[in-house]
Amino acid sequence: MPEISCFYIHFNHSPRQIVFVKFDNYFSVRLDPSRPVIITLNTMSSIPYLFEMYMLSLLVTEDTQSVILMTEFRIIKTHMIRTKFLYKRRGFMEGYRYISVGKKNPLNKSEPKRESSDKKIRKFIKNFNREFDRDDPIALITMFVEDEIENTNVNEILAEYYKNNRISLLTGIKKKFGRDIYDMIRIHL
């Protein structure tokens, strides 16, 4: 089944987005509003910035297995995906927002039969470099991780970690010594 992910940057003058649809052997990559280019997994891995941008899009997309059909302005039907926005001056916004990924559902497409031509791929890479030349994907991933860590409470994470360790310890004791010791330890926790 195809997976879809999207990365969206909002600047004051022009927002930019890149949409990745991953099939078994191919990727369909689209810079908004251009037409998608079809590339193989080997081609994707040979272009480091594009692959890093794909990793970032996977991090910020809430669910890669579903899209939602929404009606905008009571006329236009479009498929949307939930992702986090990056506002250039403020960083990643709280929560997820909907981004349009097209009028047709990209998850209903069948897997492509062949890769796009070399000329089309070179043109796409040229446009990609022009659009995202100032944005280092690794720096954006670092910014996203720092933002996520800042929004979480470290004490809650540690408490959950210790709770999971106790549960696994108790499970091991139950298997080794029997139910009576397990029940007695659980009373004290």
Domain range for 140 is: 3-150
Claim to verify: residue 76 and residue 131 sit in the same structural domain: yes
Claim to verify: residue 38 and residue 81 sit in the same structural domain: yes
Higher pLDDT, 23 or 160: 23
Instruction: Write the DSSP string, 37-83.
Output: EEEEHHHHHHSHHHHHHHHHHHHHBS-TT--EEEEETTTEEEEEEEE
Q: Looking at the predicted structure, is the pLDDT value of residue 38 above 80?
A: yes
Percent of the chain with pLDDT over 90: 13
Claim to verify: residue 39 and residue 95 sit in the same structural domain: yes
For residue 5, what are the contacts with CB-CB under 8 A and spacing of at least 6? 19, 20, 22, 54, 57, 58, 60, 61, 64, 81, 83
Residues 51-90 pLDDT 10s: 888 988 888 888 888 788 877 666 677 888 888 888 877 7
Claim to verify: residue 142 and residue 174 sit in the same structural domain: no
CA distance 92 to 96: 10
Claim to verify: residue 158 and residue 136 sit in the same structural domain: no
Residues 110-126 pLDDT 10s: 888 999 999 999 999 99
Q: Is the pTM of this model over 0.85?
A: no
Claim to verify: residue 105 and residue 56 sit in the same structural domain: yes
Q: Of 168, 30, 41, nearest to 101 (Cα)?
A: 30
Claim to verify: residue 133 and residue 82 sit in the same structural domain: yes
Claim to verify: residue 168 and residue 88 sit in the same structural domain: no
Higher pLDDT, 93 or 37: 37
Claim to verify: residue 50 and residue 130 sit in the same structural domain: yes
Q: Looking at the predicted structure, is the pLDDT value of residue 108 above 60?
A: yes
Residues 160-172 pLDDT 10s: 767 666 666 666 6
Q: How confident is the model at residue 103 (pLDDT cuts 50, 70, 90)?
A: confident
Number of domains in the chain: 2
CA distance 131 to 134: 8
Claim to verify: residue 115 and residue 174 sit in the same structural domain: no
Q: Looking at the predicted structure, is the pLDDT value of residue 45 above 80?
A: yes
Claim to verify: residue 178 and residue 128 sit in the same structural domain: no
Residues 137-158 pLDDT 10s: 778 888 887 777 776 666 676 6
